[in-house]
Amino acid sequence: MEQIQIIDSKKHVGEIVTIGAWVANKRSSGKIAFLQLRDGTAFFQGVVVKSEVPEEVFQMAKNLSQETSILVTGEIREDSRSKFGYEIGITNIEVVSESHDYPITPKEHGTDFLMDHRHLWLRSSRQHAVMQIRNEIIRATYEFFNNNQFVKIDPPILTGSAPEGTTDLFETNYFDQKAYLSQSGQLYMEAAAMAFGKVFSFGPTFRAEKSKTRRHLIEFWMIEPEMAFTHQEESLEVQEQYVAFLVQSVLDNCEYALDVLERDKEVLKTYTKLPFPRITYDDAIELLKKNGFDDIEWGDDFGSPHETFIANSFEQPVFILNYPKAIKPFYMKPHPTREDVVICADMIAPEGYGEIIGGSERATDYDFLLEQIKSHGLDEKEYSWYLDLRKYGSVPHSGFGLGLERTVTWISGIDHVREAIPFPRLLNRIYP
Ligand code: 4AD
Ligand code: MG
């Protein structure tokens, strides 16, 4: 008898196997017990028929409490009625460890309660499905960038720089100096691109965001590609290919998870068609004004209702190009003919999920950058290494950052970014 994982059922139909599992739920009649089981790979049904097993096995099955861990033995059968497609006809059960008064019962619970029990909530089928999709997006990210000859480079987490503005920094002591938790690895990735050509990072980033929204985490993961000898137009092509590849990979490899979440796969398929539409910031402002948004002026940053309206005007993710210089970070390339905008783009996800990518072409002129660093109130000494990149063989280069959790939230079709990361750090929540 082989111990298997239920996800491999296809290879074991008709065989007697043993599976290590937990009891998620159960129901029984006088003659038959249905166990809703999970083994980490999927949720599946175990069936115990009174007349086919020793009496003590049937009684044990009827009395198993939620989240008791067990070893079940039985035959793998196809089960066309269930989402998963296979079940186990149980002939024996061995209890590994009992579970009493499991707090998350099949009834509805409030969000705060679930967040307090995140360490247990992760076991539930929807959370399990979201994490499978997250895992697939991580896997596909490495595949995409490896296929396209990018080198993975890891920027530091403890840094002295503040690429995305100084308002939401996490400060910490670094012996007798000040340091910050990284907001973005970008500046280091620019150095890496000058050494390796095409690079990407994938790591945690931190922002002490005071806003409590469905889109903001304090700690989130970002993928930051950076490409030497690359202008913004070519970077936009990489961005749309990457995002379409992520959606396609989830469609190809996470069918079961998408079904659990009741995500419409036909809708997801439309997000794999290229190119994605592009609209300038100027035109986006026009569009909003024409449609009754009186609360926005040229020069303002978009709020989430604005982004949602713009997104709903298109069927695919949309790029908003060339924002006002005044609302973007110091490092962006100035527009060749306009003083007031920079060469950048945000990618806005459909269906109201907001910005998933921020990117730009980077300024290459030494004097311009020095001026920018000063005018953004940054200490020029701390950025001298960054300015070196413009002294020794500076080249046009572009890059972007994709927020992992926002992308997971969108592709999964869930309501809140806090469910897209195993243990979310939120405003006033660092537990569990
Ligand atoms: O637009 P942002 O701030 O861009 C940068 O950090 C650039 N340095 C990236 C680059 O060009 N290398 O952040 C990039 C993305 C956003 O589009 C969003 O998806 C995500 O990171 N993001 C957050 N996700 C969750 N919670 C937050 N508080 C986030 N802030 C940004
Ligand atoms: Mg941004």
The atom of ligand 1 lying closest to the CA of 346 is 17
From first CA to last CA, the distance across the chain in angstroms is 39
Question: Which ligand has the minimum distance to the alpha carbon of residue 347?
Answer: 1
Say yes or no: CB of residue 216 within 6 Å of ligand 1.
Answer: yes
| Per-residue confidence (pLDDT) for residue 85, from 0 to 100 | 92
Element (H, E) at 354: strand 354-361
Ligand nearest to the CA of 355: 1
- How large is the angle between the packed helices 125-147 and 404-412, nearest 10 degrees? 120
Between the CA of 244 and the centroid of ligand 2 the distance, in Å, is 20
- Calpha distance 192→426 (Å, rounded): 31
Indicate which residue's Cα is closest to atom 17 of ligand 1.
357
Task: Check pocket membership of 400 for ligand 1, CB cut-off 6 A.
Answer: yes
Give me ligand 2 centre to Cα 138, in Å: 21
Using CA atoms, how far apart are residues 380 and 372, in angstroms rounded to an integer? 10
Query: Which of the ligands is closest to the CA of residue 205?
Result: 1
Q: Is the CB of 357 under 6 A from ligand 1?
A: yes
Question: What is the rounded CA–CA span in Å between residue 315 and residue 415?
Answer: 19
CA 47 to ligand 2 center in whole angstroms = 51
162 CB near ligand 1 (under 6 Å)? no
CA atoms in the 13 A half-sphere facing the CB of 143 = 13
Residue 329 Cα, ligand 2 centroid: separation in angstroms? 9
Protein residue whose Cα sits closest to atom 9 of ligand 1 = 401
Which atom of ligand 1 sits closest to the CA of residue 217?
Answer: 26
Contacts of 191 (CB under 8 A, 6+ apart): 385, 386, 389
| Closest residue by CA, ligand 1 atom 11 | 400
Residue 357 Cα to ligand 2 middle (Å): 7
406 Cα to the center of ligand 2, angstroms: 12
Helix (H, G, I), strand (E, B) or coil at 214: coil
The pLDDT of residue 281: 98
Start-end of H helices in 342-427 = 366-375, 384-388, 404-412
Give the contacts of 88 (CB within 8 A, at least 6 positions apart): 6, 17, 19, 37, 44, 45, 46, 47, 72, 74, 75, 76, 77
Sign of CA dihedral 130, 311, 315, 244: negative
Is the shortest distance between the CB of 406 and ligand 1 below 6 Å? yes
Q: Which two tokens stand for residue 253?
A: 């490899």
Ligand 1 centroid to residue 402 C-alpha, Å: 6
Q: How far is CA 140 from the centre of its chain?
A: 12
In sequence order, the 6+-apart residues with CB closer than 8 A to the CB of 24 are: 36, 37, 38, 43, 66, 67, 123, 125
Degrees, nearest 5: CA angle 207-213-215: 70
Closest residue by CA, ligand 1 atom 31? 403
When computed from its CA atoms, the radius of gyration of the chain, rounded to whole angstroms, is: 26
CB of 207 closer than 6 A to ligand 1?
yes
Q: List, as one string, the DSSP characters of 106-165.
A: SS---HHHHHHTHHHHTTSHHHHHHHHHHHHHHHHHHHHHHHTTPEE----SEES--TT-
- Contact between 185 and 162 (Cβ < 8 Å): no
Copy the structure tokens of residue 101: 């008064």
Instruction: Identify the residue whose C-alpha is closest to ligand 1 atom 30.
Output: 216
pTM: 0.97
CA 403 to ligand 1 center in whole angstroms: 6
Q: Tens of pLDDT along the chain (432 residues)?
A: 789 999 999 999 999 999 999 999 999 999 999 999 999 999 999 999 999 999 999 999 999 999 999 999 999 999 988 888 999 999 999 999 999 999 999 899 999 999 999 999 999 999 999 999 999 999 999 999 999 999 999 999 999 888 888 789 999 999 999 999 999 999 999 999 999 999 999 999 999 988 889 999 999 999 999 999 999 999 999 999 999 999 999 999 999 999 999 999 999 999 999 999 999 999 999 999 999 999 999 999 999 999 999 999 999 999 999 999 999 999 999 999 999 999 999 999 999 999 999 999 999 999 999 999 999 999 999 999 999 999 999 999 999 999 999 999 999 999 999 999 999 999 989 999
